[in-house]
Amino acid sequence: MVEIQRTQSESSGSLSPSAEEESKYRLLYSKSKVYVNPTAYARDNIPGFVALVKREAINPIYLLAWIPETLLCEKGTDEWNKFVKIEEKATLDEEDEDAVLIDLPTQRPESYAFSVPLTSIYSLLVHPPTLSSWYGTIGINLINSSTLPTLYFHDDESLSMTIPSRHTGRNSTSAYPPSTSSPSSSRPTNSWGGEDLLSRLRSYAHLLRSTLQPSLFIVDPSKADLDTHTTQIFDDDAVDDILAQSSYASSHSPVPAHRRPRPLSDVPANAPPNSYVPRSSVLHRSLYPPSISTTQSSSQARMALLQSFSNITRATRHAAQNILSHPLAKPIVPHLPDPVKSLVNANGDLEWGSWVEKGGVGEFESARVYLARWARIVAEEGDRARKREAQALPSSSNVVEEISPLGVFELLHSTVNLPSPKTSRDPAHPIDEALWAKWFDKDGRPKVRLEEMRRQVFRKGITPDGNLRKKVWPFILGVHDWDITGSEREAKWEEKRKRYREIKDEWCGVPEVFDRPDVLEERHRIDVDCRRTDRTQPLFSTSYEDTADNGPNGNRRYTTISPQMSDIGAQSPSNEHIDRLAGILLTYNFYNKELGYVQGMSDLCAPLYVVMGSDEELTFWCFVEIQNFLRDQSGMKKQLSTLQELICVMDPDLYRHLEKTDGLNLFFCFRWVLIAFKREFPFDDVLRLWEVLWTDYYSNEFILFVALAILESHRDMILRYLVEFDEILKYCNELSMTIELDSTLAQAEVLFLSFAQLVADIDRRRAEEATDSTSSVLRRRGTSASESEGKVSLSKIAMPTLSDNLRDLLKTGR
């Protein structure tokens, strides 16, 4: 309809004829008010246009671009108007005469602008708006493993999503040449801006929605991707699919159909929602994966096959092998992705074996827990395979890599299947002796601020080499003061040593106290637990029986706290260090007389004892600092209830699922929180985790974000397979020793930043509503209410009320 002459672009620069050719970029699609959020603060958000651009050539290149409004303003109103115009234009026809040519959207990292060929995009991470995050997002992962700034679709401000007449008027009357297969016909059903963009993208690239991770769309998937992301062996419907011999692989051309436009009809617009995981928000509806055709004839075979799966509960460790060698399973095996096949064949396979051995349990509780675990392993294997592949690929040089902190916002609903988020952590370069020494001047006074030290520990951790942790931990924990000289510190420490001796002397060598019934009872509790804590650590692994210094010499009566066997029954043999560990805990009993010994204390104290090189005083005072126990467990109760509220705000779907499964008490997180993941990670990882937690860098309760990160990593498994409280408990307990620490910490950091941003957003909106109650906000709501169901629910979203507990999560420093 409107021809915008090339002169427009020519006038903006002195281009040589060849460069002129280069500049033929046709704007195919644009959408306004798509934001990039460089920081956690809403005030820093940058509005811009997302655009699809075609480079005219014999082999045209399609580019996805984002241009900040400011950059477009610099280019003048004409350029701006082109974008507005294209956005207003509902339909697309490439052969249309009315080509709109623009300047090449430039790659400007400092302004976050980007333009990348679709061929360089590996995957899109799509999160539709939910009740708590009302702007849907799309994250873009490039083939070279880098991540572009996550795009936030502010549909309430965007022209194309707020003008009601456009959808109803122009499209339904088909004034333009759209056919049924044209993307435009489905436009009115696009509930949010990101989906609108996706449906347009489908015209230029094949988007494969992953069955492992529904928010993940692979762009022009490779064969390997297809295998990993389409086999729905865990979906109830998959069985029908396989039996009907209609696997994706057979219907799909073996040659990757690069750049071949695909009709949108690939995806039924009204695919029925997955009945097993009902998404509550209407905003999710249109994003459902294509349903798989169900054939009546296959239902019998389906039942039989499902039955054989359910028999897994009865089977032993070779259950899966047996089942997959079952005649009924034969047709399935060829369709299994390679990772699973390797598991199937794996008689002595390390992975399989270690998985079966996990938790010392060889028998499976229910088919659901079993399948959930299997799905997790496949997803993890797929992720590793993808990473390997990404490493093998040469990074495409025409894409300017942009490493910005933005990537961290991409995965509120992340899973193990995603590339590692960008995080501030750098655990590969821990603080070493040299760096630590540099932070102090000659007289032992620090040259860096306490906060900086904590920040560095949070980011890098401390080297396990030498005994640096022994030096640093007392500073992180506040046992040693920071801003004083070495000699002042020495004097203060001497006082603490003396104090420890005094407290210990209340029971040590004082028979009338030591053998008092209540003390005896505590000794019993402490001793029984210390004898079974970290016995694989060298210090604790020996016993009196097999060491030369055979126990009961003259003074052992009062240096060990072991009661008589008649009091504690038959227990594992003790040793000198176990006795001293128990002595520290008994002394703590006299230091904090209210509390008494609580099971789990030995788990918290033993690593301190090891790191402090069996120094009693240091262990004791560090232990005092990390003490988190209260007799009535009200401390735990508060933490779990805060975690519950956090889940409610950050992942309402998961919250509702837990509600349905009686899991809201979060008892499956009890062990995690009570002993700070001591049982969930190998000993060395526990040390690395703890020093990060103690920095209180982001939050005094960063541990809850770690818990949330683990739950989020497994949310899809939980939502899909685990429908009873006990199943979730079992699944979580058995995650022990399978969790990858650094990616979990990275995700916890991302979750914290997202949470902080959410709080900032809510506060800003509250403030806006308060000052602006009668004007535009209400009007906007009025318009959208008449528009579509999706919009109504989006605008009617009640902002979550943030309790004091939740706001306290933003507090740092003790």
Partner 1 sequence: MGRVLLKVIILGDSGVGKTSLMNQYVNKRFSNQYKATIGADFLTKEVMVDDRLVTMQLWDTAGQERFQSLGVAYYRGADCCVLVYDVNSAKSFETLDSWRDEFLIQASPHDPENFPFVVLGNKIDVEENKRQVTQKRAMTWCQSKGNIPYFETSAKEAINVEQAFQTVSKNCTATRSRRTTIDRESTQNYGCNC
- Establish if 337 lies at the interface with partner 1 (CB under 8 A): no
d(CA 323, CA 256): 33
Rg of the chain (C-alpha set):
31
Which distant-in-sequence residues (6+ apart) come within 8 Å of 259 by Cβ? 62, 118, 119, 204, 205, 220
Cross-strand partners of 115: 65
- Establish if 648 lies at the interface with partner 1 (CB under 8 A): yes
Residue from 94, 363, 483, 490 binding partner 1 (CB under 8 A): 363
- Establish if 789 lies at the interface with partner 1 (CB under 8 A): no
- Establish if 607 lies at the interface with partner 1 (CB under 8 A): no
Between residues 224 and 799, which has the closer beta carbon with respect to partner 1? 799
Q: Which two tokens stand for residue 542?
A: 């020996």
For 356-405, the three-class secondary structure string (H helix, E strand, C coil) is: HHHHHCCCCCCHHHHHHHHHHHHHHHHHHHHHHHHHHCCCCCCCCCCCCH
Between residues 17 and 569, which has the closer beta carbon with respect to partner 1? 569
Residue 511: CB atoms within 10 Å: 10
- Establish if 567 lies at the interface with partner 1 (CB under 8 A): yes
360 sits in the region (left: phi over 0; alpha: psi -120 to 50; else beta) called left
**Residue 508: phi, psi to the nearest 5?**
-75, 120
CA-closest candidate to residue 240, choices 285, 300, 182, 286: 300
Class of residue 293 by CB neighbours under 10 A (exposed 0-12, middle 13-18, buried 19+) = exposed
CA-closest candidate to residue 812, choices 696, 654, 659: 696
Between residues 471 and 656, which has the closer beta carbon with respect to partner 1? 656
For 89-137, the three-class secondary structure string (H helix, E strand, C coil) is: CCCCCCCCCCCEEECCCCCEHHHCEEEEEHHHEEEEEEECCCCCCCCEE
Between residues 407 and 652, which has the closer beta carbon with respect to partner 1? 652
Residue from 129, 430, 474, 600 binding partner 1 (CB under 8 A): 600
| Residue 449 amino acid letter | R
Residue 405: CB atoms within 10 Å: 15
264 sits in the region (left: phi over 0; alpha: psi -120 to 50; else beta) called alpha
**Residue 667 C-beta: closest distance to partner 1, Å:** 6
Between residues 622 and 649, which has the closer beta carbon with respect to partner 1? 649
Integer angstrom CA distances of residue 803 from 45, 463, 653, 702: 26, 38, 20, 17
| Residue 796 amino acid letter | K
Q: Which residue has the tokens 């806006």?
A: 768
**Residue 665 C-beta: closest distance to partner 1, Å:** 4
User: Candidates 318-326, 415-423, 433-441, 526-534 — which segment interacts with partner 1 by CB under 8 A?
Assistant: 526-534
- Establish if 98 lies at the interface with partner 1 (CB under 8 A): no
d(CA 70, CA 715): 39
Q: Which two tokens stand for residue 237?
A: 């419907």
User: Candidates 66-74, 491-499, 578-586, 729-737 — which segment interacts with partner 1 by CB under 8 A?
Assistant: 729-737
Residue from 151, 328, 462, 664 binding partner 1 (CB under 8 A): 664
User: Candidates 162-170, 486-494, 651-659, 769-777 — which segment interacts with partner 1 by CB under 8 A?
Assistant: 651-659
- Establish if 56 lies at the interface with partner 1 (CB under 8 A): no
- By CB under 8 A, how many residues form the interface with partner 1? 62
Between residues 240 and 529, which has the closer beta carbon with respect to partner 1? 529
d(CA 25, CA 115): 12
Q: Which residue has the tokens 């104090």?
A: 499
**Residue 315 C-beta: closest distance to partner 1, Å:** 10
**Residue 597 C-beta: closest distance to partner 1, Å:** 8
- Establish if 532 lies at the interface with partner 1 (CB under 8 A): yes
Residue from 569, 593, 813, 814 binding partner 1 (CB under 8 A): 569
User: Candidates 216-224, 274-282, 402-410, 631-639 — which segment interacts with partner 1 by CB under 8 A?
Assistant: 631-639
**Residue 699 C-beta: closest distance to partner 1, Å:** 19
- Establish if 566 lies at the interface with partner 1 (CB under 8 A): yes
Give the x-and-dash track for 678-717 against partner 1 (CB under 8 A): -x--------------------------------------
**Residue 531 C-beta: closest distance to partner 1, Å:** 8
**Residue 253 C-beta: closest distance to partner 1, Å:** 43
Residue 441: CB atoms within 10 Å: 11
**Residue 800 C-beta: closest distance to partner 1, Å:** 5
- Establish if 571 lies at the interface with partner 1 (CB under 8 A): yes
Between residues 101 and 356, which has the closer beta carbon with respect to partner 1? 356
- Establish if 570 lies at the interface with partner 1 (CB under 8 A): yes
Between residues 391 and 599, which has the closer beta carbon with respect to partner 1? 599
Asked if residues 788 and 166 have their Cβ atoms less than 8 Å apart, the reply is: no
Give the x-and-dash track for 292-311 against partner 1 (CB under 8 A): --------------------
| Residue 660 amino acid letter | K
Between residues 257 and 306, which has the closer beta carbon with respect to partner 1? 306
Q: How far apart are the first and last CA of the chain?
A: 65
Between residues 260 and 532, which has the closer beta carbon with respect to partner 1? 532
User: Candidates 35-43, 461-469, 532-540, 787-795 — which segment interacts with partner 1 by CB under 8 A?
Assistant: 532-540
- Establish if 415 lies at the interface with partner 1 (CB under 8 A): no
Residue from 12, 294, 313, 783 binding partner 1 (CB under 8 A): 313
**Residue 303 C-beta: closest distance to partner 1, Å:** 12
Residue from 258, 260, 631, 811 binding partner 1 (CB under 8 A): 631
- Establish if 85 lies at the interface with partner 1 (CB under 8 A): no
- Establish if 131 lies at the interface with partner 1 (CB under 8 A): yes
For 647-671, the three-class secondary structure string (H helix, E strand, C coil) is: HHHHCHHHHHHHHHCCCCCCHHHHH
Share in percent of the chain as helix, strand, coil (round to 5) = 50, 10, 40
**Residue 541 C-beta: closest distance to partner 1, Å:** 11
Which distant-in-sequence residues (6+ apart) come within 8 Å of 786 by Cβ? 164
Q: Where are the alpha helices (DSSP H) in 632-735?
A: 634-650, 652-660, 670-674, 683-694, 702-713, 715-721, 725-733
Residue 4: CB atoms within 10 Å: 18
User: Candidates 176-184, 405-413, 723-731, 788-796 — which segment interacts with partner 1 by CB under 8 A?
Assistant: 723-731
Between residues 99 and 799, which has the closer beta carbon with respect to partner 1? 799
Residue from 160, 203, 366, 417 binding partner 1 (CB under 8 A): 366
- Establish if 320 lies at the interface with partner 1 (CB under 8 A): no
DSSP letters, 731-763, are HHHTTTTT--HHHHHHHHHHHHHHHHHHHHHHH
Residue from 112, 152, 591, 655 binding partner 1 (CB under 8 A): 655
Tell me which residues in 749-768 interact with partner 1 (CB under 8 A). none
Asked if residues 98 and 114 have their Cβ atoms less than 8 Å apart, the reply is: no
Cross-strand partners of 61: 55
Residue from 44, 572, 613, 682 binding partner 1 (CB under 8 A): 572
Give the x-and-dash track for 464-503 against partner 1 (CB under 8 A): ----------------------------------------
Residue from 108, 358, 497, 535 binding partner 1 (CB under 8 A): 535
**Contact positions vs partner 1 (CB under 8 A):** 131-132, 313-314, 360-366, 524-525, 528-529, 532-533, 535-536, 565-572, 598-600, 602-603, 631-633, 637, 640-641, 644-645, 648-649, 652, 655, 659, 662, 664-665, 667, 670-671, 674-675, 679, 725-726, 729-730, 733, 800-801, 803
